[in-house]
């Protein structure tokens, strides 16, 4: 008997309507059917511009699906992301879905250590011991990702692209979640850090996370994938 997949896309379609250009419609894909189970790491393949990032964003509800259903298994039961209320999505993102986007959206003034610790610190609430534990864990992640200690108390706005990307990864993976979405997590990283990220992904898979990832580097994709899906198959003819 198959366990319920962690993530299920059924008949999902996405098109953009650009009202400022005479309501020009840009179809991206249609009829996407995809299931990802716990312990799987699905790597999305396909040429750039085909909509791989878009697919991840639909799962995260950063984009709105034009049709279809996207079902995620939360602790409280299945949630259809396309119909979920904002508060359900906030809760889902907090506890169920981790997302490493391509770009770190920088929150001004918050030191790197706290940016990374935040998902755990949030759960700790007022408890000072919990907050300190969150910071401790953040330090471990920063060290593992080779962020120099002198940068830990600085806000990441002035960091290099690679450093920002590592902060992004640490922040969004520090709290283990059942579903992980990764969009080009190693794009600006050197070999050593890329290897570290591969290990992190493998560890996540090993603990039972369902992962969907996009990797520009074929080797990285090969190193972590348990299955590969070509999004070209879903692509709408423009």
Partner 1 sequence: MNTPNTNSPLLRVRGIAKRYGDRVALHDASFDLWPGEVLAVVGESGSGKSTLLNAIAARDKPDAGSVEFQVRGGGLQEVFTMTEAQQRMLARTDWGFVHQNPADGLRMDVSAGANVGERLMGLGERHYSRLRATAAEWLGRVEIDPARIDDAPRTFSGGMRQRLQIARNLVTQPRLVFMDEPTSGLDVSVQARLLDLLRQLTRQMQLAAIVVTHDLAVARLLAHRMLVMQQGRVVEAGLTDQVLDDPQHAYTQLLVSSVLQP
Residues forming contacts to partner 1 in the complex (CB under 8 A) are 16-20, 57, 61-64, 86-87, 89-90, 105, 107-110, 122, 125-126
Residue 3 DSSP class: P
Where helices occur in the chain by DSSP H, the ranges are 52-60, 86-95, 112-124, 128-144, 161-173, 191-206, 218-224
Closer to partner 1 by Cβ: residue 105 or 150:
105
Closer to partner 1 by Cβ: residue 16 or 218:
16
Q: Is residue 77 within a helix (H) or strand (E), and if so which, with residue range?
A: strand 77-80
Alpha-carbon Rg of the chain, whole angstroms? 18
Q: Least distance in Å: CB of 160 to partner 1?
A: 19
Closer to partner 1 by Cβ: residue 108 or 148:
108
Question: Quick one: tokens of 212?
Answer: 């969907």
Are the C-beta atoms of residues 216 and 46 closer than 8 Å to each other? no
Q: Least distance in Å: CB of 94 to partner 1?
A: 10
Q: How far apart are CA 170 and CA 142, in angstroms?
A: 7
Q: Least distance in Å: CB of 25 to partner 1?
A: 13
Are the C-beta atoms of residues 82 and 64 closer than 8 Å to each other? yes
Closer to partner 1 by Cβ: residue 127 or 190:
127
Closer to partner 1 by Cβ: residue 1 or 75:
75
Q: Least distance in Å: CB of 52 to partner 1?
A: 16
Q: Least distance in Å: CB of 22 to partner 1?
A: 11
């Amino acid at each position: 008997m198959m366990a319920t997949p962690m993530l299920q896309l059924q008949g999902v379609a996405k098109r953009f309507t650009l009202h400022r250009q005479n309501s020009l419609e840009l179809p991206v894909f249609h009829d996407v059917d995809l299931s990802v189970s716990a312990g799987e790491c699905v790597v999305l393949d396909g040429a750039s511009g085909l909509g791989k990032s878009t697919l991840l964003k639909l799962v995260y509800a950063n984009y709105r699906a034009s049709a279809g259903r996207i079902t995620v298994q939360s602790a409280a039961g299945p949630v259809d992301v396309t119909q979920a209320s904002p508060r359900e999505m906030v809760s889902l993102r907090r506890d169920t879905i981790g997302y490493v986007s391509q770009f770190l959206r920088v929150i001004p003034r918050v030191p790197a250590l706290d940016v990374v610790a935040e998902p755990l610190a949030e759960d700790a609430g007022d408890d000072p011991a919990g907050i300190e534990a969150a910071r401790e864990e953040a330090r471990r992640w920063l060290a593992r990702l080779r962020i120099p200690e002198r940068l830990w108390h600085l806000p990441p706005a002035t960091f290099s692209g690679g450093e920002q990307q590592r902060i992004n990864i640490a922040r969004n993976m520090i709290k283990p979640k059942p579903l992980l979405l990764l969009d080009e997590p190693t794009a600006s990283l050197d070999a050593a850090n890329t290897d570290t990220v591969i290990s992190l992904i493998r560890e996540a898979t090993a603990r039972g996370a369902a992962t969907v990832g996009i990797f520009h580097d074929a080797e990285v994709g090969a190193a972590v994938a348990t299955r590969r899906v070509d999004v070209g198959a879903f692509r709408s003819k423009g």
